[in-house]
Amino acid sequence: MRNTTREEQLAERARTYIPGGAMNHAKEPRQDMLGYMPWYIERAEGCYLYDIEGREFIDYSSSYGPVILGYRYPPIEEAVRAQMEKGVLFSMPSPLEGEWAEMLANVVPCAQMVRAMKTGSAATAAAVRVARAATGREKVISCGYNSWHDWWVAKEGVGISKGIPSCLEGNIYDLEYGNLAFAEQLFQEHGKEISCLITIPYDFRGKPCLSFLRRLRSLTKEYGAVLIFDEIITGFRLSLGGAQELFEISPDMCTLAKAMGNGYPLSAYAGKADLMKLVPELQIDTTYAGEALSLAASLAVIREMRDKPVLEMIWHRGEELMTGLRRIFSNNGEILSVEGLPPAMTINPATDNPGAAHFKNLFIKHLYGQGVFYHSPLFVTFSHTEKDIECTLEAAENAVNKAAKEM
Ligand SMILES: Cc1ncc(COP(=O)(O)O)c(C=O)c1O
């Protein structure tokens, strides 16, 4: 019998005590990737992950989006260390709260007022509650993934799954990104009941659809509904002011998280002052909202991104990666394609090739095997260098060849 590896031993213990073996579904060890994908990460530095065997991986998951500058990025670590000397959570607000909220209001176009939360799901739930309170209406249109909370999971198409009260059914409509005709239909049929439309500005598959977003802006205005951009991925990644700044479309409210804290747990909901001024009357509260280490980290992130060419470099490196991957895939029958924008891109199997999904899985396995950590979307950070992109493209070329041999 084969000896089990240390990874398998750790996974066995984790599966005994943690449902699914990890704290997030997406990070559960994948049996089919054993020996290729790193199941446990011991530490991270810059754009590199180091697993428990000391193997190094160039990371393109960036912790599922939050890491924008790089792991253990010195100015952020220094800001957090300095704050740690003063304390983490106090019985009254720290002065950082106002400083951070003002900074955010200065860079995010729709943000006249801001409140912090700890997770993206908490921020979207809060924004939707504000919209319902402001309009006195209950129904919601949602486009894209916005939350694991009941209000969102109850949406049509996602399905009333186990643990979700069936009374929530019919309160939330599922709008596919770009499906303008359905958006028009929903407003024509239910316009007077719709409190808000919450949408991701872009899903990094296909092209950004600005005509869709512009029409959502005008429809929500026309019907008196609140337009919320869920910028949990796009905020601080496409531009300092998020997709709303890049696309020049201003929503009434937005939600932010991920890149805003470079890995420190922080989210926010923000918007026009007349909406946000309702918050003190509403039951929206969480003990850890003003936790000072994350606020210190976020202030340092915003300063760093404001004062250095962080986003220019991320767009540039991302462009190099996209162009290189496209060249590799076009030399291999375009069984895979690259979509998205340079700061966040997806690799997709050709829809007209039945073997393409299997090919993609083999490709990913061999990327891991050559020290490149993949998860979709691929996020480039300020710490990725030209050399890292070159090494990644070399690994991708080898991975394509290895995958082709195994088909
Ligand atoms: C667009 C969007 N909204 C909301 C969320 C939920 O955020 P969290 O996982 O921090 O609750 C996510 C998470 O990936 C997201 O991508």
Q: Report how far residue 275's alpha carbon sits from residue 279's, in angstroms, rounded to the nearest whole number.
A: 8
In the predicted model, is pLDDT for residue 150 greater than 70? yes
Q: Summarize pLDDT for 343-386 with one digit per residue, the tens.
A: 999 999 998 989 999 999 999 999 999 999 999 999 999 999 99
Indicate the pLDDT class of residue 196, thresholds 50, 70 and 90.
very high
Contact between 171 and 154 under an 8 Å Cβ cutoff? The reply is yes
Neighbours of 66 (CB within 10 A): 23
Looking at beta carbons, which pairs linking 239-246 to residues 24 or more positions away fall under 8 Å? 239/311, 240/107, 240/302, 240/305, 240/306, 240/311, 241/107, 241/108, 241/109, 242/108, 242/109, 242/201, 243/201, 243/202, 243/208, 244/108, 244/109, 244/110, 244/201, 245/108, 245/109
Q: Which residues lie with the beta carbon below 6 Å from any ligand 1 atom?
A: 119-121, 124, 144-147, 200, 230, 232-233, 257
Atom of ligand 1 nearest to the CA of 257: 10
For the chain, give the percent of residues with pLDDT over 90: 92
Mutating to test ligand 1, I would choose from 24, 146, 255, 288 the residue with most ligand atoms within 8 A of its C-beta, which is 146
For 7-42, b/e burial (b = at least 16 CB within 10 A) is bbebbeebeeeeeebbeeeebbbeeeeeeebbbebe
The residue nearest atom 7 of ligand 1, judged by CA position, is 120
For 201-224, the pLDDT digits (tens) are 999 998 999 999 999 999 999 999
Helix H or strand E encompassing 230: strand 226-230
Residue 92: pLDDT above 70? yes
Which residue matches tokens 């997770």?
Answer: 119
Q: How far is the CA of 333 from the centre of ligand 1 (A)?
A: 34
What ranges make up the beta strands (E) of 19-167?
Answer: 41-45, 48-51, 56-59, 113-117, 139-143
Overall average pLDDT of the 383-398 stretch: 98
**pLDDT value at residue 39:** 96
Q: Which domains does the chain have, with CATH numbers?
A: 6-64+309-406 (3.90.1150.10), 74-307 (3.40.640.10)
Question: Residue whose CA is closest, atom 3 of ligand 1?
Answer: 146
The predicted model scores a pTM of 0.97
Q: Are 173 and 141 in contact (CB under 8 A)?
A: yes
- Comparing C-alpha atoms, which of 78, 51, 53, 76 is closest to residue 66? 76
Separation of 174 CA from ligand 1 center, angstroms?
Answer: 16
Separation of alpha carbons 89 and 287, rounded Å = 9
CA of 252 to the centre of ligand 1 (A): 19
Please give the distance, rounded to the nearest whole angstrom, from the Cα atom of residue 188 to the centre of ligand 1: 29
Rounded Cα gap, residues 244 and 231, in angstroms: 8
Residue 110 has pLDDT above 90, yes or no: yes
Residue at token pair 């005509």: 211
Q: What is the pLDDT of residue 156?
A: 67
To the nearest 10 degrees (0 to 180), the angle between helices 292-307 and 96-107 is 40
Q: Which residue owns the Cα nearest ligand 1 atom 9? A: 120
Q: Measured between alpha carbons, how far is 229 from 327 in angstroms, rounded to an integer?
A: 34
